[in-house]
Structure formats: C-alpha cells, structure tokens
Structure 1
Amino acid sequence: MTVRVRAATADDAAGVARVHVDSWRAAYKGLMPHSVLDGLSVQNRTTGWQRWLNGDPNRNAVGHECVVAVDETDAVLGWATFGRGRDDGWEHVGEIAGIYAHPDSWSAGVGHALMEQAMIALAQAGFSGVYLWMLAGNERALRFYERHGWATDGGEKHETHSSGHLMRELRLVANNAPV
C-alpha cells in the first residue's frame, strides 16, 4: 500500500470522522465503557471536523494543523493534529494532540508516516521539544510510541469525557526532541 501524507481539507471531514470513530472503538475497547464507544457517531464527528477543518476558532482555538494519510485513491487512512502545546507551562513545546490510523491500516506504515510528518513540521516550527497524551492502558499505542523514540515522563492527568467517563492519560515525550 502506498501512503501519502498531506494537509487535511474540509473535504476530508467524513474520512477523518470515520477513522476517529472506528479507531476509538477498536483501540479503546475495554478501556472506555461500551456505551461511550457505541454512542460515537461518524455523522456527528463529520460535522465537528468540517467546522474544525474550515478554521472555526471555537473548534480549533489553538491553531493546530491537521494532516491526513491517504492511499492511492485519496481515501483517508489516518490523521494527526499537532501544534503548540495546550497545557500550562508547555506552550514552548510542540504537542501531538491526536494521531489515529484506521484499524484496517494498523501496522501498514500509516501511523509512522503521520508521526514523521508531525515531527518534521513541529521541528520546522522551532519547538524545543514534543509531547503527547495517551489513554492509560492502551498498550498497542504505547508500543507504537516507544518504537518511535517516545517515553513516559511521569506526567498524568484525568480528563472527563463528554459522557462523564473519567479518562486517565499519561504524558509521553519524544526522546529525540527534549523538552
């Protein structure tokens, strides 16, 4: 499979939403309540992504970029969002806010291509380091990040999902981009 990474456009919203929902359902099974995962809607996510990709400042207040990984037919296989750190004290550091590949594309180089593009863009933007948050217990994601030179740094936070479910997240930093 040939994977190409490019800037996302509003026309990609449905594909990004499909990857978002399908990857959450596969990756977070057993980590989040079934009711949360079953309640995810590609249609609702498409609407949100259309607003985000059209530059709605209420959806993307931090000015993050979104890139998509596409196949030879331009179908969205995965996506990543990244930019200035959103956490207090981390504004000088780049953040990968989201990186997801469709489960049908896992282990096919999609995540690698997205990670590479995000890291290049953040380095070119002059950030002194890069961090991300991942859902605790997501061992597949942890292995992916570790293969790409990331490690947990002891940072942890608890976020409340819109469903009311409390999510424990771990901070990882890129070893090749010290913070």
Structure 2
Amino acid sequence: MAAWAHWRVTGDPTLALDVCGAAVRSGTASHGLPFLADLGPLAAAHAGPVRRLMGSPGAWTRTYAAYAYWRITGDPDPAVPVLLAEVDPAWSGRPDLPVQEAVSRLGEIGAPGRRGGAPVAPDPGAGGTAQPALREGADPRRPGERPYAHRSPGTDRQVGEMKFTVRRAALHDGDVLGEIHAAAWAAAYAPFFDPGFAADGIASRRTRWHARLAQQDSTILLVEREDGRPVAMSVYRASSTRPGQAEILSFYSHPDSWGSGAAASLMRGTLEDLRGAGFARAHLWTLRDTHQSRRFYTKAGFTESGATRTYDFGDGRPLTQVEYERTSPGQS
C-alpha cells in the first residue's frame, strides 16, 4: 500500500509496479491485484500473471484478477465470463462468494470505460451475455431478496460510518481465513524474508485454516463488513506461559480494510470475547520492526511488557519479537 501511495503522491509508478507485480507473481493476489487495477495500462507488463490468476481456485481472487485484467488491457472478453460465473441470482449473502463485487465490476465494464487510457463505448456483446442473470438477481419479486448494493471503487478503504460485525469462525470459513491471513502476512511480514521463502509462506497461510478450524483448540473470530465480506481475523486461547491469561496468537486484517476501522472493531470484539471466557488479562507477541502493528496495539490499550524473544519462521534467520499485554475491558 505504501508503494501505491508513493505513486499517487509522486506520479512515478516504478516502485508500485515492482511491489504489486511481485505480490501477484508470489500468489498474494488479493493484496497486489487492486493496486495493479488502479495502475491500469501502466501495469501492462503484468497482464500475463494477472490473467493466469483468473483461473485461481479462490473466487475472490478470480474476481479481482478479472477486473484488474480489464483495467490493465481494456479487453473485456476474457474478464466478463469470469465475473459472470460469480453472478448467482440465488445468492443468499454468503461472504465467501464475491457476488456483489462481480456485479459491481460487470456494471463498470458495461459502462463507458478506458482502453489504454482513452474512452471506449460499452461492449454490447458482453452486456448482453450478462443481462439474464443480472435481471433475475435484481427482480424485486424474488422472496428473500438481498439486493446487490452498488459500491464505488475504493470504498473498502474509506473511514466513516461503516459498521462491522464480529462472529465466531465456522468450519466453512477456511478459505476466508486463508485469504485474510495470506494477504495481511504478505503486506506486513513478507518484506522481511527472501522472495522464495516469502512466497512459500504466503501459500502455506492461504491453505492451513481448514485444518486449524477442525482442531478446535482455539477461539477464532472474524469481523465482517456491512456487505457480509469478512476482512479481519483473530485467534486466541489460554496462554501456555502465563497461567490464567489469554494469548492472542494471530491478529490480521486484509490490506483492503486498512484504515476502515475493521481492525479496531475486531480488537474490541476479541477483548470482550476473551473476557466472557473468563480471562482478565491478555498478551501477544509481534515483530519488533512492524511499527504499524505496534502503533495499533498501543492505541488499543496494550503496553509493552519489556519481554523480547527471537522467533525463527523457518528460514534459519530468527527475528526479534516484543510482547504486549493489557487487561480485558471491565477489569481493573
């Protein structure tokens, strides 16, 4: 995100193209794709990897990739079928299905767009193909209708009156958890490692959560936006080193949600949940050099305990972690 901001401030896309392109090539699609989409034709060199991600097993990744490919190339033909495949008129609002996102992007492609930076007319063929499913999805006579509310590009990052819901993760949330973990870890942690090791770490974090959910040895929470999409996750359980306390083992928010208030909402929900579970205090570890994370924990009421440790993520180069602690809400 910093590289994207550098482009927006300076007008020089080189850093953003390098960072976002590397993210897409390493498999962190949801992190790099929205920024490449914003770069548009400037990201033409990355069109190939983006197009390959349109065949990803993840529905959200396919959707992001299809939109980014159209924004980069101006060619709707490969993108529209991918987006159209996600349009289910019988959608019940399941957050792991990007129906609303696909509909929004189809609407954008169907309106006057840009091809190489120049305005082009709508593609009647693409719009005609999508019309039956879109018409059925918008039929007000359908019982139990959940409208596909319009969302303008970029509102994921807006700070305002957005509301969030905290809930327990269910067994079917493995892909959602993996998407959040992989994207957040790629943005915050991957820069500390060699690219090959980072790519393997991202892939591992994307696929490990079905097994973690099945173990049922921790409490896993998700925070959802108003449109139902989960954007942040936390994991806690009884501490193995501090009797009577909870340890927050994982706390990640998708880069798409940074600055939206999602992480703050999740932290409040996590602290309330662990208090309800009988824990008066909580502690956690974070990398010493992830300054954004450390500022967040301080703002959330955590203080440094003074303890440090080194942790080897598996590449033989241990990194320093610092410990934070705080009381649960309502505890003295």
Q: Any runs of at least 4 consecutive aligned residues in structure 1 with deviations exceeding 4 A, and if so which?
A: 175-179
Are 1:84 and 2:245 matched, yes or no? no
- The CA distance in 1 between the partners of 2:229 and 2:310, in whole Å, is 34
Identical residues among aligned pairs (%) = 23
**Contact 2:182-2:206 at 8 Å conserved across structures:** no
**Contact 2:186-2:202 at 8 Å conserved across structures:** no
Are 1:21 and 2:21 matched, yes or no? no
- The CA distance in 1 between the partners of 2:316 and 2:229, in whole Å, is 33
* TM-score between the two structures when normalised by the length of structure 1: 0.84
1:69 to 218, 223, 227: 223
1:147 to 275, 299, 314: 299
Partner in structure 1 of residue 171 of structure 2: 10
- The Cα RMSD (Å) is 2.2
Q: 1:162 to 1:29 in 2, by over 3 A?
A: closer
Are 1:165 and 2:317 matched, yes or no? yes
Q: Deviations over 1:38-93 (max 9, x none)?
A: 22344x43442101112x2xxx6xx2200111123432201000121122xx0311
- The CA distance in 2 between the partners of 1:13 and 1:172, in whole Å, is 28
Partner in structure 2 of residue 122 of structure 1: 274
Partner in structure 1 of residue 197 of structure 2: 36
Partner in structure 2 of residue 174 of structure 1: 326
Structure with the greater relative contact order (CA < 8 A, sep ≥ 6): 1 or 2? Answer: 1
Partner in structure 1 of residue 142 of structure 2: none
**Contact 1:24-1:37 at 8 Å conserved across structures:** no
Q: Larger strand proportion, structure 1 or 2? A: 1
**Contact 1:133-1:170 at 8 Å conserved across structures:** yes
- The CA distance in 2 between the partners of 1:176 and 1:5, in whole Å, is 17
Q: 1:176 to 1:53 in 2, by over 3 A?
A: closer
Count of matched residue pairs = 170
What letter is aligned with 1:6? R
Partner-residue secondary structure (3-state), 2:236: strand
Larger radius of gyration: 2
Q: Larger helix proportion, structure 1 or 2? A: 2
Q: 1:128 to 1:4 in 2, by over 3 A?
A: closer
What letter is aligned with 2:311? E
Shift, 1:127, TM fit:
1.9
**Contact 2:232-2:263 at 8 Å conserved across structures:** yes
**Contact 2:280-2:328 at 8 Å conserved across structures:** no
- The CA distance in 1 between the partners of 2:328 and 2:269, in whole Å, is 15
Partner-residue secondary structure (3-state), 2:191: coil
Are 1:45 and 2:197 matched, yes or no? no
What letter is aligned with 2:163? T
**Contact 1:131-1:171 at 8 Å conserved across structures:** yes
Shift, 1:35, TM fit:
2.9
- The CA distance in 1 between the partners of 2:317 and 2:196, in whole Å, is 10
Structure 1: runs of 5+ lacking an equivalent: none
* TM-score between the two structures when normalised by the length of structure 2: 0.47
Partner in structure 2 of residue 109 of structure 1: 261
Structure 2: runs of 5+ lacking an equivalent: 1-161
Partner-residue secondary structure (3-state), 1:40: helix
